[in-house]
A and B are shown apart, each in its own frame.
Chain A
Amino acid sequence: MHLTLGIILAIIGSLMLTSVTGVDPNNFKTCEQSSFCRRSRKIQSSGSKYAIIPGTLNTYADSLTADLINKENHHQFTFKLEALVGSTFRLQIDEKQPLHPRYRVEHALKEEPKTARISVQKETDGEITISTDDHKNKAVIHGDPFRIDFYENDVLVVTANAKNWLYFEHLRQKPADAADGHADGEAGAGNAAADDDQQQAEAPKSPGEAIDDPGAWEENFKSHHDSKPNGPEAVALDFSFPEAEVLFGIPEHADNFVLRSTSGTDPYRLYNLDVFEYIVESKMALYGSVPVLYGHGPRRTAGVYWQNVAETWVDIYTAETNVVSSLVNFVSGSRKSPSPAAHFISESGIVDAFIVLGPKPIDVFKQYAALTGTHPLPQLFSLGYHQSRWNYNDERDVASVSSKFDEYDIPMDTMWLDIEYTDGKRYFTWDKFKFPEPLTMVKNLTELGRHLVVIIDPHVKRDTGYFFHNDCTERGYYVKTRDGNDYEGWCWPGSSSYPDFFNPVVRDYYAGQYALSKFNTVSENTMIWNDMNEPSVFNGPEVTAPKDLVHYGNWEHRDVHNLYGHMHLMGTFDGLEKRDPNQRPFILTRAHFAGSQRYAAIWTGDNTAEWSHLQHSIKMCLTEAVAGFSFCGADVGGFFGNPDSELLERWYQTATFLPFFRGHAHIDTKRREPWLFPERTRLVIRDALLKRYSYLPLWYTSFYELELKNEPVIRPLLTHYPADKECFAIDNQLLVQDRLLVRPVMQQGVSKVDVYFPAIDDKKNGDYWYDVDTYQRQERAGYESVPVTEYKIPVWQRGGSILPKKERQRRASTLMLHDPYTLIVCLDRQGKAEGTLYLDDEKSYDYRQGQYIYVNYEFAHNQLTNRFIGKPKYKSSSWIERVVIAGLSTVPQSATITVNGVSQQLEVLQQDHAVIVRKPGIKMNVDFAIKLNY
């Protein structure tokens, strides 16, 4: 008896111990603790009854409108379906006559989407079929019950309201009874029927509906009170994906790439939050919210972008594929399990959904990017290695770290300063004792080709000696509380207030602070890091701002929360562009919403020095990449905790093939610059960094093509192998464009890793893949066990691709501008290959005036040729120093290069499994042909 008690106690004790290491989930709401989520989720058992009111249907050249009615409470809504260019439909539902306007999202879309012409195909009693003019896309609107089926080439890919889970809480007068303040009491909804009558009398056109929920009109969480003056105003809608087998998207969560079913658990939550020591494999909300979700199956891919910036929960329904269910299906002969579906639940706003119809994964990513934009081509330096720490203590510290990188000949591009550089966390100022001469420090870095990034957070210290605070107070620029006072929260500086970036005047003022005439202690090359912009409020509910704060335009914080960071970024981006109009800004942000990628790169926030967090860095960035945020990375080494040397080595190697590459650490951790570890670790890290720098031309080209063609830089395997079911759920491997396959080592103490080579057809044929270090060829699809050493980063180049590299070493990427290129040609089964290279001045906006070279290289019939895309106007002093060709069956004797009809012999050398054409020596803007001679 005593023994069992002891065991139980021990188990409880160990549970408590483990829970200490991560976030305390009790600090954040569950769906059950969130009134609107609880209410909206209830609809999943009963279903709702919405129908189109007959005779209200109007069709226009590019859209269709109708009135909807909730058949239970007879409240009326308007619904609009618009066809957009690029296989996209936009569905909007709002109240017909709301008590007051409901919030519609601004600034998330890149621009007002272009509409496409539609025509009515068929109109019968209960349904109407419209199709786009090219007859590719079709929508069938069913009247009663209300439902819309979306077809891509006559295949049903998305159904809106398939499960009748549309749920729209219309705005209503506050019932007199609930005003008494029984926030958590049962009395709040007790006299529901009476309220109903009363409300009907007041607003006859919007008959009330009893909301049987104690949290409808006010809500408490922990010690925080939410006054909810507008009462219940949730919106929810479900989308089914009949062609899909997996659902993915809706970052940011520290979870797998493929979304897991939420039956029996909380839904995935989208609410920008500063989560201290977040845990992995969790559906909890994190710093960013991008409500775009894709459904993917072997034949079709489609997606939904749920444009709502209020708190949102997403329920996921996927068939649990296990042996039993598949056996049952097999026996019962049922062809398919029910379609995967997602139920979006938002606290306020309207239903505003974009349905992108594919058909292929790359199509939906591009269609979504066409709506919200992409990261513009960044300066090259931002793709190099960033060295950060909370904090580099003073000017000497910065200078010594920078020179240590030189001493050990490790490339590094950017030094970062976290909050301690400021004068008492007053942003735009410097600590005069630790950083007496910031301009000299910046100049010393700039002379080495390096950059400085400093942090500027949105909270403002409430200090009457601080100009920024005084300006904001005098001019009323702060976010207000319900009674019209400036809101005061607690953050790094202590008592702080938060500028209302939703106000264009405030954004302008804020942008103006970055001008060199104002912030004159930095140079025009100093870039910005915007952190804590969820916003993070240490003493607020769930470490963020209370929902009943009031923003510009009299909108509640509840309505706009997930967009706050985005508006902050708009101000920063504008400020940096005005500071130096011909330099591309670089901003790193933590909070983000759909569209923030147009302004900033993101990182995955405050992770931990654990192997599981290393693994999640790839999963999270893959999800972010398909949701528009290609420029993504994780703190190398982990923010919290101290990595051992093996974890640090592997983390550097993994980050080598993620777009944003920054080492960063918490102030309480041990210093972890590479030279503080044993020599082997230093050399492994140096090796990884040199590899990163050698691939910079590929990264740069990829980012140009992201801007040009909306194609993500890093991609999950299913992007290019959509029919291979095996690779749907693979999220420990990634593709860089369609050229590299990366499978970093992310486990402790392994001597081999299992790599999956995707299949291109049913017969398990795959592409050729060439190991980038040895050019050894992988010809079969399927799993392969690959031996690894401590130096090895398992990466393969696809046969059929050509990629550019710069194999010369420099201390910073900016110094590589004039260095020559190496072309790596990996041949496919037909002995062909193709690939692009983009180059420009790597810094200014001149490329938008055509000052660039964009060239396509093609190898076929033993000959390498180039073809310029657009005119090669940029004057580059770079040249091609070698061409590596892998996959030739015999070694050629020599090569002949022909430029303008003049030929010259070139030497051909053999190396491992490849041959090298030695020193073609041609400039980048010259047409040439290199022929191999046998």
Chain B
Amino acid sequence: MRKTWVKRENIYYKPFYKQKSKMLFLLIFLIGISFITYQAFSLNQLPSPWNLQQLQQLKQKHKQMMQSLGSKQLDVDFFIGTPPPQNAQESGHADELQSAIKIIRGTRLFDYDAYKPNFEGKFKCLDNSKEIPFDHVNDNYCDCETDGSDEPGTNACANGRFYCKYQKRHITGRGLDVHVHSSRVNDHVCDCCDGSDEWATNSKCLNSCA
């Protein structure tokens, strides 16, 4: 078997900068570097993890926020599976409440994480149009005018949705999102099959969920 070697002078050398794959890797590398640098610089915007006192305060604040969330009974729903306490406000133990999975009234499980206050106690409208104090969620005043996401449980926003409490969910949490227009919330007409849209009126809704 004979090897044939190509003559050296016939080989065409590509210059380095014309080798696409190498340039691509270099680009990615540079982007990576700049991203890490950016992250490093923006680190000091985060609360310093070494300042324990400050961290403690923040944790405290966050806890309070979560508790106030729990104590705002009207705004909080109990996830199916956990029987709701008879009167959460009187029993009043935040720890007890925290053991139940709470979702904000009128939201769906899918958005569970979105409806949590961030470390600054803020809520970001689901369309990212603005950031509002978490207190303003479900406070019966529309702040996220563009998508109505801060008022899932009231009729304050024109274009919002109310997700009924009863959701025909698969065990994985997927399924149809059963919702009604915000305009149907507390209008004395039962729209959700479980009547959960009439949570502040004394309408006698029959449970017709099958």
List B contacts of A447 (CB < 8 A). Answer: 189
Q: How far is the CA of A811 from the CA of B188 in the complex (A)?
A: 11
A449 and B183 within 8 A (CB) = no
The answer to whether the Cβ of A819 comes within 8 Å of any Cβ in the partner chain is yes
Query: In the complex, are the beta carbons of B158 and A809 less than 8 A apart?
Result: yes
What 0/1 pattern do residues 811 to 844 of A give for CB contact below 8 A with B? 1000100011000000000000000000000000
Q: Determine the distance from Cα of A759 to Cα of B158 in the docked complex, in whole angstroms.
A: 37
Q: Is the CB of A819 within 8 A of B155?
A: yes
Cβ contact within 8 Å between A449 and B188: yes
State A881–B139 Cα separation when bound (angstroms): 11
Q: How far is the CB of A812 from chain B (nearest CB, A)?
A: 9
Interface hits, B166-203 → A, CB 8 Å:
181-184, 187-189
A114 CB within 8 Å of chain B:
no
Known: A819-B155, A881-B156. A811 touches B183 (CB 8 A): yes
What chain A residues lie within 8 Å of B187 (beta carbons)? 449, 810-811, 815
B141, CB-defined interface residue at 8 Å: yes
Look across to chain B and name the residue whose beta carbon is closest to the beta carbon of A807: B158
A809 pairs with B141, CB closer than 8 A? no
Query: Which chain B residue shows the least CB distance to A407?
Result: B181
Residue of B nearest to A447 (CB): B189
The answer for the CA separation of A810 and B189 in the assembled complex, in Å, is 11
Mark interface residues in A441-461 (1 if CB within 8 Å of B CB, else 0). 000000111000000000000
**Chain A residue, CB-CB nearest to B182:** A809
Determine whether the beta carbon of A810 is less than 8 Å from that of B183.
yes
A449 vs B155: C-alpha distance when bound (angstroms)? 17
Which of B139, B141, B182, B189 is within 8 Å of A882, CB to CB? Answer: B141
Give the contacts of A769-819 with B (CB-CB under 8 A): 807-811, 815, 819
Which secondary structure dominates where chain B touches chain A? loop
Would B182 and A815 count as touching, CB distance under 8 A?
no
In the assembled complex, A644 has its CB within 8 A of some CB on chain B: no
**Do B156 and A409 touch (CB < 8 A)?**
no
Known contacts A808-B155, A815-B189; A409/B183 CB under 8 A = yes
Complex: chain A residue closest to B133, CB-CB: A907
Question: Interface of chain A, helix or strand or loop or mixed?
Answer: loop
Give the residue name and chain of the B residue nearest to A820 (CB). Answer: B140
| A882-B187 Cα distance, complex, nearest whole Å | 20
Chain A residues with CB under 8 A of B156: 808, 881
Which residue of chain A has the shortest Cβ distance to B189 in the bound complex?
A: A448
Chain B min CB distance to A690 (Å): 8
Q: Is A29 located at the chain interface by the 8 A CB criterion?
A: no
Give every chain A residue within 8 A of B155 (Cβ-Cβ). 808-810, 819
The proximity string for A residues 409-423 relative to B, scoring 1 for CB distances below 8 Å and 0 otherwise, is: 100000000000000
Interface centre among A690, A881, A919 (most CB of B within 10 A): A919
Residues of B within 8 A of A882 (CB): 141
A409 touches B189 (CB 8 A): no
Complex alpha-carbon distance, A604 and B189, angstroms: 35
CB distance from B154 to the nearest CB of A (A): 9
Residue of B nearest to A919 (CB): B141
Residues of A within 8 A of B181 (CB): 409, 809
Contacts A819-B155, A881-B141, A918-B141 given; does A809 touch B189 at CB 8 Å = no
Q: Produce 1/0 per residue, A241-273, CB < 8 A to B.
A: 000000000000000000000000000000000
**Residue with the greatest number of chain B CB neighbours at <10 A, chosen from A448, A807, A815, A882:** A815
Task: Kindly state the separation between the CA atoms of A449 and B191 in the bound complex, as whole angstroms.
Answer: 13
Contacts of B182 in A (CB 8 A): 809
| C-alpha spacing A448/B191, complex, angstroms | 10
B139: chain A residues at CB < 8 Å are 919
**A134-154 vs B: 1/0 string, CB under 8 Å?**
000000000000000000000
Hey, which chain B residues are within 8 Å of A820, CB to CB? 140
When C-beta atoms are compared, the residue in chain B nearest to A694 turns out to be: B158
| Contact residues, B125-153 vs A (CB, 8 A) | 139-141
Distance in angstroms from A843 CB to nearest chain B CB is: 14
**CB-defined contacts of B141 to chain A, threshold 8 Å:** 881-882, 918-919
Chain A residues proximal to chain B, CB less than 8 Å: 409, 447-449, 690, 807-811, 815, 819-820, 881-882, 918-919
Question: Can you list 22 A-B contacts with CB-CB less than 8 angstroms, sorted by A residue number?
Answer: A409-B183, A447-B189, A449-B187, A808-B155, A808-B156, A808-B183, A809-B155, A809-B181, A809-B182, A809-B183, A810-B183, A810-B187, A811-B189, A815-B187, A815-B188, A820-B140, A881-B140, A881-B141, A882-B141, A918-B141, A919-B139, A919-B140
Which 4 pairs across A and B sit closest by C-beta, in order of nearness? A815-B187, A809-B183, A919-B141, A409-B181
Q: For the A-B complex with A811-B187, A811-B189 known, give 4 more contacts whose Cβ atoms are closer than 8 Å.
A: A808-B155, A808-B183, A811-B184, A819-B155
- Enumerate chain B interface residues (CB-CB to A < 8 A): 139-141, 155-156, 158, 181-184, 187-189
